[in-house]
Amino acid sequence: MIQVTVYKTARHEYVGFHITGHAGYDEAGRDIVCSAVSALVFNAVNSIEHFTDDESSCVSDEEAGEMEFRFRSRPSHDASLLLDSMILGLESIEDSGEYDPYIDIIFKEVQVP
């Protein structure tokens, strides 16, 4: 199962996430749930880095299926929108009847540096 922890502030601003695990929907290379989650996550991170000036930290281990992403300060409007879009896509996967057993999303309140 893929586990996603989305970090948010007391003001409900998303400021990062931690993702770990593999879906286990199908064998490696054929797992459409892992592929969908990877596409959403990598596109969001790459878009934030390419289209915004926000400073962030991103550490990943593809073999372990793990990624930790955090903004170094409050995210800009554009960066927030990109992260919101990623979370919407992940929630759509989780809310579907067929793929729900393969992804779990939780929200954790954190302090912004």
Point out the residues that are catalytic.
22, 34
Distance CA 1, CA 99 (A): 10
Contact 7, 106 (CB under 8 A): no
Distance CA 26, CA 58 (A): 27
Show the tokens assigned to 105.
């999303």
